[in-house]
A and B are shown apart, each in its own frame.
Chain A
Amino acid sequence: MLFSTAWLSRYVELPESTRTLTDLLTSCGLVVDQVDEVRNDTVLDLDVASNRVDAMNHFGVAREIATARREPLRPPDSSVDETPGCAAADLATIEIDDPQGCARFVARVIRDIEVGPSPAWMSELLEVIGLRPINNVVDITNFVMWELGHPLHAYDLDLLAGNKIVVRRALPGEALQTLDGTSRSLTADDLVIADADRAIGLAGVMGGANTEIQAGSTNVLLEGAWFDPQLVRNSAQRLGMHTDASHRFERTLAIDGMVAAVDRAAALIAELAGGEICQGRLDEKDQLPEPVSLSLRSSRVEKLLGVDIPEGDIRNILERLGFEVEGASASFLVTVPRHRSDISREEDLVEEVARHYGYERLPNTLPALRAPEESGDPMVLAERRLKQVCVAAGYREALTPSLGRDEDQAAFLRADDAPVSIANPISKALGFLRARLSPGLLTVVAHNVNRGQQDVRLFEIGNRFTQPSEGNGAIERKALALIICGPGQVAHWGESNRAPDLFDLKGTLEAVARRMGWPAWQWRAGTQPGLEDGCSAELLLEGEVQGWAGRISAEVAERFGLALPVWGAEIDVEEQLARPARELRYSPLSRFPGGVRDVSLQLAESVSFDHIEAAVTSREDVSLAGFELVDVYQGDDIPSGQRSLTLRFTYRRDDRTLTAEEIDSAHQAVTSHLLDEFGGKQR
């Protein structure tokens, strides 16, 4: 919002330097975004908070400056020199049909004016703040709005049918051509100013073309009103009209602000456009609400701010800002001026005192806080650990947008997963909340591959959203997604690369489960939307499917513009993250040496490794301390449909040393057990 310093200086003595002025304004809450020299004037672009409609005009800003500088404030002259022999009430009547929409309507009539250009001083002030001068009467209404803050409107009285103003809701099918030349169709939600026949203005937003002041207009009806903020906002929003007037009406103007504004404008019209001000101010209103009175305890000021501000300072600040202060500091009785519609509680007064006492004068202290037992929610801490484990496994963290296209999600969704749509999306491309993280990661993979970076190894942890089976809202659960692709990273100039595959993902997820202290996921071959059949697995926990891993199907990869094989995994980890952190406990180490024996078994391909694992772990042999798979072999010397698995068993006891014979015999027993159970032969 632009303000002219020349204009401000009409009401208050400004500091010599612009820098001092901008610092002062910033420290009382009017941030100066920009300073421009325009003609001989310095123009300030102020960021006025949306609740400070009182400071959206030059006099209001001057009031802040006067308070901050402890300088006198000089209000503009609003005295009106009425011409005897003509009474406004005889020339026009005001009728308010909707008193909730329009709580007050004030008008004056000025006769025999001459419409012409504004004097240079006024045109210049308007121009430097970006307004285009139109004619003296219209310019005066704008000038007064930017001077005192209350929007005004001038009608050509001679064009008012029935010399009558009616404030009412628009009629069904009613239309109005506004001053910008656009024809607007109105509804019963719009409050209009009308004459006896038709709408002549959209209340609080813009006047109508049909009663516009033009060259040749001689009699003026000047309006200053109070319209309901919500009605004005609704109309402005629905019609896409954001005007200087609507901006102010939406923010709750003073119920008495129009009186001085109408008088000031009438006086200026008489002065600059000639004419005579008719006697009497038309003022249609219900009982006005009492001004707000609040008690302010200096003890409350001290309790909230942490410093004791002298009683005299409190009183002085509030009075300069227009508050009436009575009583003593134990409990001041403060009457809030009507232009401060933002003040309704004691704390609001504390802020006023603090603003002008100066935030910078408050000392810096640190509160004495309790020492928490944990640095956060267990789930939050678990997620932080999970990220660290993924990083340790060599994955880079990606953060991808939560909003995207339905079609991108669809490829990975099962029939019963419905993504959540946005009711008022920014665009079609941002119309849905993600139900899966993988589409976002695939977009990242494509971004990188297209830039020649084919080796991608990423993870993301984030919320996924699906529709609940009934009602609105969303089911929101944390998931972990991994994605890998590329020819494989070469670690050394003397070595060759290896392309990643499913077992990279599996190894990572096994390590994740171990390190997090979670039970391992069971891997089961299965088909998955978005994955290549035969190259994908379901991940289960206690029989429940938690996620999947596998190769992204060629079709889906192509959708993201990817031609190379991409492997991914995505798992719901909501419940795992909620598990209590693993208790660390020491178990004594065996003091006795162990022995290692390998065996190669030629088995049918249909014997899956997890069956062998189950058979081995089912053995109740205290000397069997561990086993691992060291080789899988299929070659010319193995019949088709079979494969050779080499298993390595470790034998050790905690209570004594095993003899070579004992180890051999235990090994023989395991071997026989496996051959008995799965057939095949020892190689």
Chain B
Amino acid sequence: MGATEGEVPSVDQGQTADGDPLAIIQQLQQQFEVEAESISDEAELAELRARYLGRKRGALTAVFDRMRSLPGELRAQVGKQANQARQLLTRRLDEISSALAEGRDKRCDLDVSLPGRTVHLGSLHPITLALQEIESVFTRMGYEVVEGPEVETDWYNFEALNIPKEHPARDIQDTLYLGGEWLLRTHTSPVQIRTMQRRQPPLAIIVPGRVYRRDTPDATHTPSFVQCEGLVVGPDITMTDLKGTLDHFAKALFGHETRTRFRPGYFPFTEPSAEMDATCPACAGNGCRVCKGSGWVEMLGSGMVHPAVFEAVGYDPQTVQGFAFGMGVDRIAAVRYGIDDIRTLYENDIRFLKQFAT
């Protein structure tokens, strides 16, 4: 709200030619102060400067112009006053200018829609994420995570698990051998044997780790993959405990609405044995591509630990019993995240890994 030009007192207008120049200067200064109060931007400031100090129309400039015609003593006196006034006005204008500049900085003027500074976060592999979810469900129930070697002996991988030498599951096609008694474990069950040898019941463990099969790589098989097995041993662990535990696991992993189905299966190291299917998480059991229309996905194998396994580790099968289970983590990850080719997991394409950067 700057004053308009018409209101500025001028030597010509406000006073007659014989007006007191000293009074005019004083009046100009007072008027300036009033107008300076209301300056709010650079344009108004420039206008104010022009009206008082402008070379052509500045009101104070006009005083200097008229001064030349004044008598000597008065001229000196007016000149001194006018100079003081000019200094004062100039200083005030500079002050206002700085204040405006400061205000401009404070006002801030960003295009907040520009992208933020990227934080390059790392990420865990989806198999690790799936495994952590699995581990978390079981450790919440009181299980301990245990690991063991990938290179194993025949005894730990087969004999101790009630898979004698002539058993069809030992067909050379299935197992990768290193020479002598040594082989690449085909499941993480040897770690369960080692744990039972080291510790007395009760125990509840889960055993994740890499396992190996002599499978040619394709969309559903890789020669090495990650498995997670579990084992619970105690005096009174029953098949209903197995069902309750694994049903809870399926619900914790795939959602509360998940239903499970247990059906008889066959594993040399469990008796009775059970396969667990879960309602397909992709279609909620209605049938889709993931579950090949059946509404069910195979999730894990399980069973009550075979007495021969307890005998192999020196437990008395008449006084302890328990259940065991095992699942392919790659497969769980594939079902969980909707990955249709297992090999994608081991390509580690950055675009793929980024999708799991939680």
Contact = CB atoms under 8 A, between A and B. Distances in A.
Contacts of B160: none
B241 A474 contact: no
A305 B223 CA distance: 36
Of B143, B215, B216, B223, the most chain A CB neighbours within 10 A belong to B223
Nearest to B210: A402
B210 A463 contact: yes
A306 B240 contact: yes
A185 B91 CA distance: 116
Contacts of A355: 264, 272
Of B124, B139, B245, the most chain A CB neighbours within 10 A belong to B124
8 contacts: A237-B171, A304-B272, A351-B273, A367-B232, A391-B122, A391-B124, A399-B348, A458-B348
A347 B306 contact: yes
A396 interface: yes
A396 B120 CA distance: 10
A474 B243 CA distance: 38
Contacts of A139: none
Interface in A432-485: 433, 444, 447-448, 451, 453, 455-459, 462-463, 465, 471-474, 476
A426 B357 contact: no
A354 to B, nearest CB: 5
Interface in B142-201: 142-147, 149-151, 153, 166, 168-169, 171-172, 176-182, 184
A493 B120 CA distance: 14
A376 B307 CA distance: 26
Interface in B187-234: 202, 204, 210, 212, 214-216, 222-224, 226, 232, 234
A387 interface: yes
A458 B127 CA distance: 15
A448 to B, nearest CB: 5
B224 A402 contact: yes
Contacts of B216: 426-427
Contacts, number: 268
Given A304-B321, A398-B348, A27 B263 contact: yes
B3 to A, nearest CB: 43
B143 A369 contact: yes
Contacts of A476: 149-151
Contact of A29 (B117, B142, B265): B265
Nearest to A390: B122
A360 interface: yes
Contact of A366 (B169, B223, B241, B266): B241
The SS class assigned to the B binding surface is mixed
Interface in B115-129: 115-125, 127-128
Contacts of B291: none
B240 A430 contact: no
Contacts of A347: 271-272, 304, 306-307
Interface string A15-27: 0000000000011
Contacts of A369: 141-143, 202, 204, 232, 234
B144 A363 contact: no
B248 interface: yes
Closest 8 CB pairs of A and B: A306-B238, A29-B264, A376-B145, A306-B240, A351-B272, A49-B266, A472-B180, A364-B244
A625 interface: no
> Chain B interface: which size bin?
35 or more
B121 A391 contact: yes
Interface string B330-356: 000000000000000111111101100
A365 B246 CA distance: 10
A408 interface: no
A362 B321 CA distance: 17
Nearest to B124: A397
Interface of A: 26-29, 31, 49-52, 229-230, 233, 237, 250-251, 303-307, 345, 347-348, 350-351, 354-355, 359-360, 362-367, 369-372, 374-377, 379-381, 384, 387, 390-403, 420-427, 430, 433, 444, 447-448, 451, 453, 455-459, 462-463, 465, 471-474, 476, 489-493, 495
A451 B349 contact: yes
Contacts of A423: 176-179
Contacts of B223: 401, 403, 426, 430
Interface string B264-289: 11100001111100000000000000
Contacts of A366: 141, 241, 244-245, 248
B261 interface: yes
B187 to A, nearest CB: 15
Contacts of A51: 266
Contacts of A52: 266
A186 B247 CA distance: 53
A453 B347 CA distance: 13
A367 B135 CA distance: 18
B64 interface: no
A81 to B, nearest CB: 40
